[in-house]
Structure 1
Amino acid sequence: MVTSVLPPASDPNSMHETLVEFPDNLLLIDLCGEYDRNLAEIEQKLGVQIMRRGNQLAVVGEEAAAGEAVDVLTALYKRLETGKSVEHADVDRELRMGGSEDGTGSRDGDQLEMFKGGHVEIKTRKKLVEPRTDAQKVYVTSLFSNELAFGIGPAGTGKTYLAVAVGVSMFIEGHVDRIILSRPAVEAGEKLGYLPGDMKDKVDPYMQPLYDALNDFLPDKQLAKLIEDKRIEIAPLAFMRGRTLSNAYVVLDEAQNATSMQMKMFLTRLGEGSRMVITGDRTQIDLPRGVTSGLHDAERLLKSIPKISFNYFTAKDVVRHPLVAAIIEAYEADV
């Protein structure tokens, strides 16, 4: 791959053209995307113009933006060379991370070796999950490196999704014997009344986001079997009292809705060979007025303890619809 850069003018804001050559025309087609949608997204996000000339792409724009576009295109092409596809999420990730991934996706067998060369990926039964922002990358790294990790930030930043993905990965690699996912059963500002059915029917609506994440990573029949065999448990926080969770990967989601006593109870369930992840959003506390959030207390009391990591996300890390980030920023600005 050869890059030819035209000399920039003395004005740093002048248009700058960079030619990038891609040897494989078939991969170049995949790089551009259907109706050049991948190129259009890069053009829109970086304010450049990209034109195809045979097996070359000409990137025109301000020098810094053109250079960033070249880095993104190069990283995506390297990804294609390894046999992976390039989807919208991959383009979005490279744009957010400045084309910093090495594109090799190399792994040495052990999940903890995945960080060589700066590349991070999570292998599950149904898909390969890759962080899409720098904060997500640091978060995933800390989940593999620490026995207790916190993920704190607004909705849509991948806190729970990535935590469950890491849990599934560690489970199928044999690092843990079971997965335990929990949430406080707290209504989000409205009274739902008595729900019909048995205990499972009553609590499942609160647990549905955890089921949704698991369904993304495990085949339906395998997931049902693992739940039936109690190798994957999804239960309200109140059900954790009195248990010692050994050789397990444990996630507490929506931890901002745990009381201080509940949080202490949950954290002290950690047993030998286990890992624990606490996720929450400090701006979405649904506890009664005057009740202190256990997430707030844990953050205040545990920050100085070694081997406990705190990972923070902002609206810039939102990977849902772009409007979600704008909505979060608007509410934060109004505080």
Structure 2
Amino acid sequence: MKLLTYLLSTLLLLQLNSCAQNNTTETTQYSYEIVVPDLKIPWGFVFLPDQSILITEKSGVLIHYKNGEKTEISGLPEIEVLGQGGLLDICLHPDYTTNGWIYFSYASSEGEGEGANTAIMRARLSNNTLIDKNLLYKAVPNTTSGQHFGSRIIFDNKNYLYFSIGERGERDNNPQDLTRDGGKIYRLHDNGSIPEDNPFVAFPNAKKAIFSYGHRNPQVLLFNPLTNTIWEHEHGPQGGDEINIIEAGKNYGWPVITYGINYNDTPITDITELEGMEQPVHYWTPSIAPSGMCLITSSKYPEWKNNILVGALKFQYLDRCIIENNKVIQEEKLLENIGRVRSITQGPDGYIYVGVENVGIVKIIPEN
């Protein structure tokens, strides 16, 4: 009886907190057109300078879409398709037109142990083949768990490379331990070397590439040029999906603090705040299973300027988050029931493009 009372009170508190954040949510149905059809899980995509698109399919296929045709790129490393793992994110070096570097993340079985873990590689593209491949980072150890690979890749305005790796389902071991991979945001130079000012370089036995820790399953990183900050969102358990602003050396709390509960409705902890651990900018209860995030700077959608779009895998819509003083003050549901939104990008033409599972890549049509 005491456990039931505790659970009910906890759920009520979470719902009240959630409503306090979401009490101005509205739903608007914008139109869209399918730009790239017939994709299964377009985990990431990026526009090349000629406006063609490189698309990662989680199944381990890299697609070049140009002039209405799809070409499968050869030369990928061996990719382990395991649960949530497979071929994941993709991005271009900020000086891509000069150096041609393409960066991507994937589940790799390289190294000791059965299973796989997240890897980051860069390569160049020549005649629809990846060449000059460099493995920049490989998380260890391998594990047969199919959970929480992360993983997004971004560059900031100083050409630092950031990427995320989930805690691989080992919440009690990885996120709070600086000597272990998993549940972390990492920072490297573009060639894979460790920046000397990374926050844990001087810590004995720490993973020197770690930039922040205490994360569960971060599936988005975003560089915000308006504030020169790194934004992230991550999957919570049942409840407690988060948006965070990532700072060097900070602890984001998982699993010591959380606004979520276990999938079997039992509590993880009754602590939601603790000194030395960061609070999220925003959280969702119930979970929306966030994937994909885009800062809108385009004049194509003037009413959305400087807002953030977040994909909702679970509820199959786009969530427009209106930001004020680094807080989400209002949300608007877009493209409700479109499907599981996996990835979002503002194209070089200013339009918003969305990767939707079992649909393809769609372009949002602005209202007249």
Q: TM-score, normalised by structure 1?
A: 0.28
Greater helix fraction, Structure 1 or Structure 2: 1
Greater strand fraction, Structure 1 or Structure 2: 2
Q: Which has the larger radius of gyration?
A: 1
